[in-house]
């Protein structure tokens, strides 16, 4: 049945003009689309024009005042799992991505996330921070992750040319996201 097919968002976390994240996201999406065990959609945070968090009531209460929050909420709520594609800024999570995550709460709960990161050290410090943030949102994070180096997976730090072995890593990460995503979907269905 259609509603049993897992829906996975590939979330582009950089909103910067000229961002490398766009090419990384398109590459992930191209690999993911070859699979038949889930459906995939690109979600570009930039498209949602979120300001710095401007909701008066904490998101965990689920009472949204702003139209942009309602649109973002409805998009994120529609997925069973997320792949965060993140850069590393000053050894941490890009502010635009953290802000977008903070806007919502229950939409993330009891779901699963995988990570693809890029940076001079593979963006792994941003992912370690994201894992902590996800824990508070009750998102299960899978072990397999893809870490792309600005030195070896990009030319001149800007033209994306991923080493071939990364494609297998993407699929291993997606295997784990889809397996846990299916399990947590059962949990959410029981709760509803
Ligand atoms: C504000 C800022 C801070 C950065 N800090 C780091 C960093 O701490 N570690 C790192 O590996 N790269 C760092 N970089 C380089 C980024 O990883 C690189 O520019 C990457 O392409 C950014 O992703 P984006 O182009 O999708 O925005 C930083 C870049 C910016 C713009």
Q: Which tens digit of pLDDT belongs to each residue from 102-142?
A: 999 999 999 999 999 999 999 999 999 999 999 999 999 99
Is the full-model pTM beyond 0.85?
A: yes
| Res. 1 pLDDT band, cuts 50 70 90 | very low
Ligand 1 centroid – CA 164 distance (Å): 23
Q: DSSP per residue over 78-141, as a string?
A: T-SEEEEEEE-BTTB--HHHHHHHHT-STTTTTEEEEEEEEETTTTHHHHHHHHHHHHHTTEEE
Ligand 1 centroid – CA 2 distance (Å): 39
Query: What pLDDT is recorded for position 3?
Result: 60
Averaged pLDDT for residues 155-180: 97
**CB of 134 closer than 8 Å to CB of 93:** no
What lines the ligand 1 site, CB under 6 Å? 14, 16, 19-21, 87-91, 119-121
Averaged pLDDT for residues 74-80: 98
Q: Average per-residue pLDDT in the chain?
A: 96
User: Ligand 1, closest atom to CA 92?
Assistant: 8
């Amino acid at each position: 049945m259609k509603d049993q097919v897992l829906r996975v968002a590939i979330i582009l976390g950089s909103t910067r003009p000229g961002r490398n994240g766009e090419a990384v996201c398109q590459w992930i999406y191209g690999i993911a689309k070859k699979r038949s065990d889930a459906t995939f959609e690109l979600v570009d945070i930039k498209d949602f024009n979120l300001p710095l968090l401007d909701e008066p009531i904490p998101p965990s209460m689920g009472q949204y005042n702003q139209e942009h929050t309602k649109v973002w909420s409805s998009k994120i709520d529609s997925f069973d799992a997320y792949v965060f594609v993140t850069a590393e800024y000053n050894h941490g999570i890009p502010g635009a991505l953290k802000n977008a995550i903070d806007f919502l709460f229950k939409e993330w709960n009891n779901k699963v996330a995988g990570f693809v990161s890029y940076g001079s050290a593979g963006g792994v410090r941003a992912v370690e921070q994201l894992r902590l943030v996800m824990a508070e949102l009750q998102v299960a994070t899978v072990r397999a992750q893809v870490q792309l180096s600005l030195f070896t997976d990009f030319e001149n730090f800007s033209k994306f040319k991923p080493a071939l072995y990364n494609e297998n890593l993407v699929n291993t990460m997606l295997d784990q996201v889809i397996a846990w995503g299916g399990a947590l979907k059962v949990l959410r269905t029981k709760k509803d």
